[in-house]
Structure 1
């Protein structure tokens, strides 16, 4: 990922935030001829610098046979930025851009077909997302109908070896420009715009005086 220094994040708390916000990611592998991508929900865990993802595919999805190195793209909020929102737009000939937060996670895929691993992934995913919507469906290990469904999926674990975090939030602009863009985005009806505005103001508050 192209990641200029001004936009590079090093604190893994930013990764925690991205995956708590939205753990529906894009898993990219290589089938020997071309890249192959699958959007899917993941289970995220971090212990210090050790990061791990778990999830599963439909057995009909050929990606589970690829194995090897993989890239997971974690998508954060994004927003269009109009040059009209910059106070210095005329003197500096400002142009449109896009602000966003994203993470690229690289590692080697471990493929799992054992029922215990698959049951744990299904149970953990369903509990997380059922709780989030106030519903109560659960995987029942004693239910033969539930257990039989495990034959239709293949699980994976990705032990992350490289984390690239990019939060592009006008950090290379004067503070007045950041405030102008954040104010415009905060007034938007689009939730993603308002999330970007909050991130911009947070990063601005972290700046060294005079920057």
Structure 2
């Protein structure tokens, strides 16, 4: 993606935070006909130093479940519209509207799998992770035949990115006074994304 130097991040802790906040990703592959294909999926993520592993699954009828090889995974962060009226120098610098956001692009190799025991382990960990996020306790029970039969309808994947690109576009190319003013305006918004963008901006001002 287009990433001016002012907006580039290299610390993978920022990727950790993005996935923790929103583990619902966009996975893009290219089909045999050369056309791009995208799926939107919840994932499990872990990192050990510079090594990242992302796991998830498709419904078996999803054409992407047949794909093994290069892929692009997009991790979506918060985003918000920025009005030029918030800039102290709006008239002198003839400021225009923009959009502030954080996003990560992970490029790497997809490894699909259909082993039943591996799928049971994956689904168990997914359900534990996301049930806890809503304060519930439903669990996948691999010992139950009716639960285990559901595994026939999915294909799992492991994704190990070889390249991670982080873009945090947060007015870093503006004077500090503009950045402070925008963060203040966004922090007063009713939209959670806008407040999250304001928090990211303030982190970079501290």
Q: Deviation string for 1:137-162 (max 9, x for gaps)?
A: 00101111111100000000001100
TM-score (norm 1): 0.96
Give the match's secondary structure for 2:96: coil
Please name the residue that 1:2 is paired with: 2
Counterpart mapping for 1:1-211 below 5 A: 1-32=1-32, 33-205=34-206
Query: Contact between 1:15 and 1:103, CA under 8 Å: does it hold in 2?
Result: yes
* TM-superposed deviation, 1:174: 0.6
**How big is the shift at 1:66?**
2.0
What's the TM-score once normalised by structure 2's chain length? 0.98
Question: What is the RMSD of the two structures over their aligned residues, measured on CA atoms?
Answer: 0.6
Give the aligned length: 205
Question: After superposition, what is the alpha-carbon deviation per residue over 1:1-57, rounded to whole angstroms, capped at 9, x for unaligned?
Answer: 101100000000000000000100000000022000000001101000000100000
CA contact (8 A) 2:53 2:161 kept: yes
User: Take 1:120 and 1:45, find their aligned partners in 2: how far apart are those partners?
Assistant: 15
Q: Which runs of structure 1 show a deviation greater than 4 angstroms over 4 or more consecutive aligned residues?
A: none
Shift of 1:68: 1.2
Unaligned 5+ runs, structure 2: none
**Structure 1: any 5+ residue segments left out of the alignment?**
206-211
Alpha-carbon distance between aligned partners in 2 of 1:28 and 1:117, rounded to the nearest angstrom: 23
> Secondary structure in 2 aligned to 1:138?
coil
